[in-house]
Amino acid sequence: MQPEFQASPPSSPRFDKSRHAAQDFAQARLAAEISELHQQRQAARRVAERSRDAGDCLDLLSMLGLANLPVSTALAAEGARR
């Protein structure tokens, strides 16, 4: 008589810890990316406030590496309402 085949191996405490560590790392990385994007948008706003015109603003944003920021969903949604 053969033992029944188990579909999944029993989880070991070590595997569970590494899985949780990976999830924690992914969450921390996502939070850091969101924070970085928020800071970049704040910087872009400050540049726009201080710029003389649109060309000056674009030049300054390009120098800072902020010229290609993604459009926020809030701004995209507001633009769609108009």
- What pLDDT shows up at residue 75? 52
72 Cα distance to chain centroid: 11
Q: Is the whole model's pTM more than 0.75, yes or no? A: no
Helices H / strands E in the chain, number of each = 3, 0
- What pLDDT shows up at residue 16? 66
Blockwise average pLDDT, block size 10, the chain, 82 residues: 56 67 92 91 92 93 89 54 48
- What pLDDT shows up at residue 30? 92
* 41: CB partners within 8 A, 6+ apart: 69, 72
Structure tokens, 47? 């540049």
- What pLDDT shows up at residue 3? 56
- What pLDDT shows up at residue 22? 87
